[in-house]
């Protein structure tokens, strides 16, 4: 009789959660210097050779760098109520 690995429902849930969180983390942009993912509202600075530096690592780079504020995924997709 072949051996079958028995996976409990809780183990399966944990495995799927770890897998999905790992995929999301790889897809997010990271600071080229420290690897940190910037928070919403934080300013990031675009580097000349691509990528960006977070606000904490900005001091490592000389000169004026173009920057922008990090926005959330829901930006531009919210509903605005208007007076009738």
Residue pLDDT, tens place only, 46-69? 998 888 999 889 888 888 889 889
Classify strands 52-53 and 67-69 as parallel, antiparallel or unpaired. unpaired
Mean pLDDT, all residues of the chain: 82
Mean pLDDT of all residues in 42-46: 90
Please give the structure tokens belonging to residue 34.
Answer: 């420290």
Mean pLDDT of all residues in 20-43: 84
Instruction: Quickly state the pLDDT bin for 4 (edges 50, 70, 90).
Output: low
Residue 24 clears pLDDT 80, i.e. is over it: no
Please give the pLDDT value at position 25: 72
Backbone angles phi, psi at 65, to 5 degrees: -115, 135
Residue 18 clears pLDDT 70, i.e. is over it: yes
Instruction: Using DSSP, state whether 76 is helix, strand or coil.
Output: coil
């Amino acid at each position: 009789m072949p051996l079958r690995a028995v996976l409990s429902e809780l183990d399966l849930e944990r495995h799927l959660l770890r897998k999905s969180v790992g995929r999301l983390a790889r897809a997010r942009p990271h600071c080229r210097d420290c690897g940190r993912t910037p928070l919403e509202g934080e300013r990031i600075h675009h580097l000349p050779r691509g990528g960006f530096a977070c606000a904490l690592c900005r001091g490592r780079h000389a000169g004026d760098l173009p920057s922008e504020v990090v926005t959330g995924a829901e930006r531009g997709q919210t509903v605005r109520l208007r007076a009738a």
